[in-house]
Structure 1
Amino acid sequence: MDIYDFKNAFLIGFFMAFMIGPVFFILIQTSILKGARAAIAFDIGVILGDISFILIAYYGSRSLLEEIKDDPRLFFIGGLILIIYGLITYFDRQNKKEALETTKAIEVPVVKSNYIKLMIKGYFLNFINIGVLAFWLGTVLVIGPTLNMNPTSIFWYFATIILGYAVTDLGKILLAKQLKSKMTPLVIYRLKRIMGIILIICGVFLILKGFIPNDKIDELIL
């Protein structure tokens, strides 16, 4: 995996860490109420949930990837999944009032210093979100063929995504108090729509990549 792939993978992890949802708020809230160690334990569970989804997406689609790895329809499928996920994020019916209620709902104190329970809580809270599986499935379907289905390259690519995610989450944990004061319902609402737009744009780009030569895409970008 070259430095360009490493940079892209790290950026994916960085942006994933700012996907607005229950995990985002519980991580911040846990850090404030129980301290950094408790928040890190919770985050480890979340990351393990992501790893589980990556494995499910990879091994569940491996035979499909091997069969159509040079088929442009693969990019179409992956791009379509990301677009659908982006549309769901953008048109989420959760309004500002509901966002405020969500924020308040997670202020219930967790079990003091029980890191195992926090880890399990993080794992299952992430794992029950089918949208996360859809995201990883779309990513695997697109990234696999670009890395020539090389298991080592795929491993390091997704390991880098997880690294970017974990490092950014660590920053969120350390800056939890400042982030909490800035995450007003209006900011949450706007961020969710921005993330939805980013996912839609990425999905459109991937679909174009499957049907338009790379040099033509470069010309469109430039």
Structure 2
Amino acid sequence: MLQDILSGIPLGVFLAFMVGPAFFILLETAAIRGFKAAFTFDIGVILADIVFIFIAYFSTNQLLRSIKDDPGLFIFGGGVLTIYGLIAYIKAKNATYTDADFEVQKLKRKDYLGIVAKGFLLNFINIGVLGFWLGLLIIFGPSLEMEASRLVIFFTSIIVTYLLVDVLKILLAKKLNNKLTPRRITLFKKGISFLLIIFGLILILRGLIPKEIEKIEKNLEDVSYKVDSF
């Protein structure tokens, strides 16, 4: 049991620092809306991860591979993310901010539900996340003898570690709230929106030209390996 927990902790830390749409939205939410809103958003992200874990566990490898590599899903997810980023950019560009925008406001129940849904959907449309959990199951499943209790402990340790690291990220990002000005908050939102558009386009390209994208990623990994070795 202890060995399964210890095996999951480094993966949880790695997952917390994976750069993706949810990563940047989490930091934005923490900086602008405060700890509770960011933590609620993170719960939505984790719920999507849990759904992916269940899909990976209860589906056959053949079905999972066909879903994971389906270009249509990458194009759909990338399109949704790109449109979301464009809308967010336009809103940030046209918005005017007052001092009230820098004060953490009390959230209502419907606000929490909306933030959870936002975190869930932003993570769920990224089909690459399913590939990540499938990869972990394929790599670590045999060493855990595919025993349900051990898998639960292993994946729970990953999720809990991920959540704890995210709490630290939220606390650090929350400190930015005191330094926000109307100009900075506009630039911050525009920057996050631009990154979402970039991630969306990457997903679309992964669906349209998967082999070329894989070659680029492999070349980047080779360069990174050579730099680390040097």
- The TM-score normalised by the length of structure 2 is 0.58
- Greater helix content: 2
- SS in structure 2 opposite 1:53? helix
Alignment of 1:91-110 (within 5 A): 92-94=85-87, 96-101=89-94, 107=101
Give the aligned CA root-mean-square deviation in angstroms: 4.6
**Per the alignment, do residues 5 and 143 of structure 1 end up closer, same or farther by CA in structure 2, a change over 3 Å counting?**
same
1:175 aligned counterpart, secondary structure: helix
For 1:25-174, what aligned pairs fall within 5 Å after superposition? Answer: 25-30=28-33, 39-64=34-59, 67-68=60-61, 71=62, 74-75=64-65, 77-78=67-68, 83-84=74-75, 85-90=77-82, 92-94=85-87, 96-101=89-94, 107=101, 112=106, 117=108, 121-128=111-118, 130-135=121-126, 137-148=130-141, 150-174=151-175
In 1, distance between residues paired with 2:214 and 2:195? 26
For the 8 Å contact 1:77–1:138, the answer to whether it is kept is: no
- Flag structure 1 segments of 5+ consecutive residues without an equivalent: 31-38
For 1:192, the aligned partner's letter is L
Alpha-carbon separation, structure 2, partners of 1:165 and 1:28: 13
Q: Indicate the residue corresponding to 1:8 in structure 2.
A: 14
Question: How many pairs does the alignment contain?
Answer: 196
Distance 1:124 1:43, change over 3 A: same
CA distance in 1, matches of 2:221, 2:191: 34
1:174 aligned counterpart, secondary structure: helix
Kindly tell me: are residues 192 and 16 of structure 1, through their superposed partners in 2, closer, same or farther at Cα, counting changes over 3 Å? closer
CA shift for structure 1 position 173 = 0.7
Q: Secondary structure at the match of 2:87?
A: coil
Q: 1:107 to 1:9 in 2, by over 3 A?
A: same
Q: Choose from 8, 16, 24 the match for 1:19.
A: 24
Q: Do the aligned partners of 1:78 and 1:139 also contact (CA within 8 Å) in 2?
A: no
For the Cα contact (< 8 Å) 2:81–2:122, is it kept in 1?
A: no
d(CA) in 1 for partners of 2:27 and 2:96? 10
CA offset digits 1:171-211 (Å, max 9, x no partner): 11112243562651543443223444666799969x959xx
Change (3 A) 1:174 1:201: farther
CA distance in 1, matches of 2:176, 2:162: 21
Length-normalised TM-score, structure 1: 0.59
- List per-residue Cα deviations over 1:29-74 (Å, max 9, x = no partner): 33xxxxxxxx22223322332333333333344210xx31xx5x74
Q: Deviations over 1:138-193 (max 9, x none)?
A: 54334332331533222222333333332222211112243562651543443223
Deviations 1:81-117 (A, max 9, x none): 88443454345442743333468599497764x6xx4
Q: Distance in 1 between matches of 2:220 and 2:101?
A: 47
State how far apart, in whole Å, the 2-side matches of 1:152 and 1:98 are.
Answer: 43
SS at match of 2:24: coil
User: How far off its partner does 1:127 sit?
Assistant: 1.6
Q: What residue in structure 1 maps to residue 191 of structure 2?
A: 187
d(CA) in 2 for partners of 1:179, 1:139: 35
AA in 2 matched with 1:190: F
- Distance, in Å, in 2 between the alignment partners of 1:24 and 1:217 is 26
